[in-house]
Amino acid sequence: MIPSLPPAPARHALRGRAITFGANPFLDDPARALVHEPDALILIEDGHITRFGAFDALHDTLPPDTPVTTWHDGIISAGFVDTHVHYPQLPMIAAYGEQLLEWLERYTFPTEARFADADYAAGVARRFLRELLRAGTTSAAVYCTVHPQSVDAFFTESARLNTRMIAGKVLMDRNAPANLRDTPQGGYDASLALIERWHQHGRQLYAVTPRFAATSTEEQLDLAGSLLRQREGLFMQTHLSENLAEVEWISHLFPRRTSYLDVYAHAGLVGPRSVLGHGVHVDEDTFHTCHAAGCALAHCPTSNLFLGSGAFRLFDALDPRRPVRVGLGTDVGAGTSLSQLQTLNEAYKVAQSTGRRLHPAQAFWLATAGGAHALYLDDRIGTIAPGMEADLCVLDPHATPLMAQRAEQCETIEDLLFVLMMLGDDRSVRATYVAGQLVHDRDAPEAAGARGAGHITSFT
Ligand SMILES: [Zn+2]
């Protein structure tokens, strides 16, 4: 049994350079949407941010004896939000040679079969969440496997860390090996039991999770739709139009549906809090339906490049005339990194390949506030503001010699953020806070969970 983390101090404050967002930089001028406070003070009380502003303006208003941790040369940001990732695929990240459908058969299904063993699942869940926090990611929408014990393992560890996570049991009743298939009724019953156990248990949230249309019968998809209506605030996650061979297959499996998205819509699976992974090969009608329905697309550039799936049309999805909610996903294990900085690096290149320029403010919005907006959690996470949950990361733009020499030449915060997203990775995440609790300290790992006492530089 792993002990719970020691409680964070009920009240403490962070000082340092900080960035957050006052508007959506895809709809407003990116430079104006980005809020940059060169010397900020963030007061945290009982896991929530209660004050945020310039240190000089706020310092005298702090309650007496408030410990203040100063992050010199760091940039404090809201924690990153990963809108699409598979925790059971961590052991098979970087598997050589295949595209989507063959990659699933050859690598993914044999790996996921191991999660029948609850102890194995618990070990991977611990490693996965530790890696996420090392990458500065504090919330994610996570696929488990078909086994209910894989979901229990994940939520048990997430509840221990107090991270705000969305996860669910994969539903899969055809076109998969027998040891990874459930049945429509069995999948429904197991999901409902998991919803009772975990949905809105502390910060945990449940997502009904049909893997994708090819691995569920119509009966299973219909039951997934009825599951979604059983409780308030449930999520739905699945895959959409990732790869051309997959799109072709779906059109044969569901000849009566007008589009891939229509397969899910017909089952009642498309609406607010529905998160569709990829959407690489979709047309204007699908973007329009996503906008009207309020569902989200998860843009997973490292995965799309790794599997040769294609280039997501980010700026078409976000067209201000009918913007679709878009978050950023790492999609490990087809994605090649859990780092949102690395994911932004590839998002920038994918946008370039479609003739568009991803401004650093837009990029960091996608990784924080935009992801929270995609998940309908932007009233709780994704920005630094009073009332928000204190999920934060501290970025280090001087993490490597290469970054340090480049950062020295930066004249604006936008330049510095661009260096971070092009050259940064987990080494550039100096620290991570979850609900005000220090859970990762790159340079003093033993301090995580113990208040990071070495960094408290002053008391008011
Ligand atoms: Zn995926």
**135 CA distance to ligand 1 centroid (A)?**
19
Which tens digit of pLDDT belongs to each residue from 3-49?
555 567 799 999 999 999 999 999 999 999 999 999 999 999 999 99
Q: What are phi and psi of 374, to 5 degrees?
A: -60, -35
The whole-angstrom distance between residue 301's C-alpha and the CA centroid of its chain comes to 13
Which tens digit of pLDDT belongs to each residue from 68-120?
999 999 999 999 999 999 999 999 998 888 888 898 989 999 999 999 999 99
Provide mean pLDDT across the span 158-169.
98
**391 CA distance to ligand 1 centroid (A)?**
25
Question: What's the CA gap between 308 and 280, in Å, rounded?
Answer: 11
- Tell me what the pLDDT averaged over the chain comes to: 95
**256 CA distance to ligand 1 centroid (A)?**
25
**28 CA distance to ligand 1 centroid (A)?**
31
Provide mean pLDDT across the span 197-217.
98
Question: What's the CA gap between 329 and 181, in Å, rounded?
Answer: 26
**456 CA distance to ligand 1 centroid (A)?**
40
Q: Answer whether 0.85 is exceeded by the pTM.
A: yes
pLDDT at residue 6, rounded to an integer: 59
Question: What's the CA gap between 431 and 160, in Å, rounded?
Answer: 19
- Which is more confident, 170 or 98? 170
**370 CA distance to ligand 1 centroid (A)?**
19
**402 CA distance to ligand 1 centroid (A)?**
32
**395 CA distance to ligand 1 centroid (A)?**
27
Q: Could you tell me the pLDDT band of residue 267, with boundaries at 50, 70 and 90?
A: very high
**331 CA distance to ligand 1 centroid (A)?**
5
**343 CA distance to ligand 1 centroid (A)?**
14
**451 CA distance to ligand 1 centroid (A)?**
35
For 107, which DSSP code? Answer: I
**76 CA distance to ligand 1 centroid (A)?**
29
**9 CA distance to ligand 1 centroid (A)?**
37
**330 CA distance to ligand 1 centroid (A)?**
9
| Cα R_g (the chain), whole angstroms | 21
**239 CA distance to ligand 1 centroid (A)?**
6
Percent pLDDT > 90 in the chain is 92
Task: Tell me the CA distances in angstroms from 98 to 93, 299, 334, 367, 443, one per residue in order.
Answer: 13, 20, 10, 28, 38
**86 CA distance to ligand 1 centroid (A)?**
6
The whole-angstrom distance between residue 178's C-alpha and the CA centroid of its chain comes to 30
**367's tokens:** 């990784």
Answer yes or no: are the C-beta atoms of 267 and 223 closer than 8 Å: no
pLDDT at residue 453, rounded to an integer: 36
Dihedral sign of CA atoms 438, 444, 447, 453 in order? negative
**439 CA distance to ligand 1 centroid (A)?**
27
Question: What's the CA gap between 15 and 122, in Å, rounded?
Answer: 36
Which tens digit of pLDDT belongs to each residue from 14-24?
999 999 999 99
Answer yes or no: are the C-beta atoms of 39 and 358 closer than 8 Å: no
**226's tokens:** 């009825």
Q: Could you tell me the pLDDT band of residue 449, with boundaries at 50, 70 and 90?
A: low
Instruction: Return the number of other C-beta atoms located less than 10 Å from residue 418's C-beta.
Output: 21
**112 CA distance to ligand 1 centroid (A)?**
13
Q: Could you tell me the pLDDT band of residue 454, with boundaries at 50, 70 and 90?
A: very low
Which tens digit of pLDDT belongs to each residue from 298-344?
999 999 999 999 999 999 999 999 999 999 999 999 999 999 999 99
Percent pLDDT > 70 in the chain is 95
pLDDT at residue 1 above 60? Answer: no
**106 CA distance to ligand 1 centroid (A)?**
16
Which tens digit of pLDDT belongs to each residue from 340-370?
999 999 999 999 999 999 999 999 999 999 9
**457 CA distance to ligand 1 centroid (A)?**
43
- Closest residue by Cα to residue 304 from 364, 253, 248, 354: 354
Question: What's the CA gap between 186 and 194, in Å, rounded?
Answer: 12
**300 CA distance to ligand 1 centroid (A)?**
8
pLDDT at residue 394, rounded to an integer: 98
The whole-angstrom distance between residue 389's C-alpha and the CA centroid of its chain comes to 16
Provide mean pLDDT across the span 448-459.
49
**259 CA distance to ligand 1 centroid (A)?**
20
Q: Could you tell me the pLDDT band of residue 456, with boundaries at 50, 70 and 90?
A: low
**223 CA distance to ligand 1 centroid (A)?**
21
In the three-class reduction of DSSP (H, G, I as helix; E, B as strand; rest coil), residue 240 is classed as strand
**292 CA distance to ligand 1 centroid (A)?**
24
Question: What's the CA gap between 360 and 356, in Å, rounded?
Answer: 13
Question: What's the CA gap between 270 and 280, in Å, rounded?
Answer: 17
Task: Tell me the CA distances in angstroms from 456 to 63, 132, 290, 352, 451, one per residue in order.
Answer: 16, 25, 46, 43, 9
Residue 73, H or E segment = strand 67-78
Provide mean pLDDT across the span 389-412.
97
**59 CA distance to ligand 1 centroid (A)?**
45
For 8, which DSSP code? Answer: P
E strands within 184-228? Answer: 205-210
For 169, which DSSP code? Answer: P
**142 CA distance to ligand 1 centroid (A)?**
9
**303 CA distance to ligand 1 centroid (A)?**
8
**85 CA distance to ligand 1 centroid (A)?**
6
pLDDT at residue 448 above 70? Answer: no
**273 CA distance to ligand 1 centroid (A)?**
17
pLDDT at residue 4, rounded to an integer: 56
Which tens digit of pLDDT belongs to each residue from 51-61?
999 999 999 99
**7 CA distance to ligand 1 centroid (A)?**
34
